[in-house]
Amino acid sequence: MDIVKFTNKKEDLSQISNLSEFVKMFLKAVKNSIEFLEKNRYFAIVIGDIYKNSEVIPLGFYVLDAIKRNFKTKLKGIIVKNIEGNRGNTMITIYESERLNNLIRNKNNRNVLTGATYTFNEVIQQIETTQKTFQYNGRKEEIKILPRLINKYCNGKQFEPHLQAYILQNLKTLPMFTNQPIEWIGNEVSCGVGMQRIDIMLSICSQNRKVIPIELKSVEAYPEIIIQLQRYIDWIEQYYLLNRPSDIEPLIISREITDKSSQSYQDLINGFNNFNAQNNILKLRYVEFSIDCTQNTIIFNEITY
């Protein structure tokens, strides 16, 4: 298999080329280790997946499935992380979620639970139907983000988290997303060295699927923003597109630059054009917002450059 070779010894599992044989030998290693584990203690498996012949092979899930079928163990958690720092802690991808769903279906012999309410039985470690219902009596009123956003902006306070919340709350009504079938992937999506985070990540589920990484700035955009955006594109191409082919359409949303004749603005636009030329993706979109403290309004305007 196409994995890191640790030694040249025949006993080294990294020398095995067959997937089934690898899993079989890995179970022997688990058996030899688990015998020394005290009751009610834990063990962890650190393992990577394989990308070969234009296909991701979820090696970690094959091993997980085999351990669950051959040993009396409980799965306490799955941490998706590349210890080299290239992937970060990310959402579970499509192929990973499908694999998990199949594991659950097979465990339940593909029997479908029917009912209106469900619970988890900790004794038998199963999801089951229940007749119990609980009424939520907490706050139910709509959270109005815009007044808080404007108040912070007009008083010179940091408001980027409120800007992010407002955009998420009003995605379908914003001019840059009108009448588009939006799928929210996540916000603050960790994606690489230094735990860089994509502020908002969306997918447009049209005939030609698009993934949209959004970089938010409460200040005016500046040329160095391109460096940050390039890291997002590299990560998406390396980890996301393999599992869900899409066109990439990056988007920057930042405060309005009033002086479009300034050298800093020209440098910014030149940076955008260079970025577009260097990447085989859809053109970078650039949206500015302006806030009126007297009218209590926020306006988004897409800039053509």
pLDDT tens, 93-120? 666 777 788 888 887 778 888 888 888 8
User: Any long-range contacts for 272-277 (C-beta under 8 Å, 24+ apart)?
Assistant: 272/226, 272/305, 273/305, 274/226, 275/226, 275/229, 275/230
Cα–Cα distance between 298 and 147 in angstroms, integer? 10
Domain span at 224: 145-303
Residue 57 sits at the vertex; the CA angle it makes with 76 and 4, to the nearest 5 degrees, is 90
* Burial bucket for residue 272 (CB in 10 Å: 0-12, 13-18, 19+): buried
In this predicted structure, what is the pLDDT of residue 81?
A: 57
In a domain, 197, yes or no: yes
Tell whether 8 is covered by a domain: no
Count of CB atoms within 10 A of residue 246's CB?
18
Is residue 138 domain-resident?
no
Residue 30 falls within a domain, yes or no? yes
Looking at the structure, tell me whether residues 164 and 299 fall in a common domain. Answer: yes
pLDDT of residue 91: 57
Domain count, the chain: 2
Indicate whether 182 and 83 sit together in one domain. Answer: no
Same domain, 282 and 158: yes
Supply the pTM of this predicted model. Answer: 0.62
Of 110, 128, 106, 111, whose CA–CA distance to 119 is shortest?
A: 128
Q: End of a domain among 96, 129, 162?
A: 129
Residues 25 and 104 in one domain: yes
Residue 89: the pLDDT is: 44
| Residue ranges for the chain with pLDDT beneath 70 | 1-2, 4, 51-55, 80-95, 192-195
pLDDT at 170: 92
Cβ-based burial of 201 (10 A; exposed 0-12, middle 13-18, buried ≥19): buried
Does residue 262 sit within a domain?
yes
Pair 215, 79 in one domain: no
* Chain segment 141-193, per-residue pLDDT in tens: 778 899 999 999 999 999 999 999 999 999 989 999 988 899 888 888 877 54
pLDDT number for residue 24: 92
Answer with the one of 129, 153, 171 that is the final residue of a domain. Answer: 129
Answer yes or no: do 297 and 158 share one domain. yes
pLDDT of 57 reads 79
Q: What is the pLDDT of residue 104?
A: 80
Position 170 in a domain: yes
Q: Does residue 139 form part of some domain?
A: no
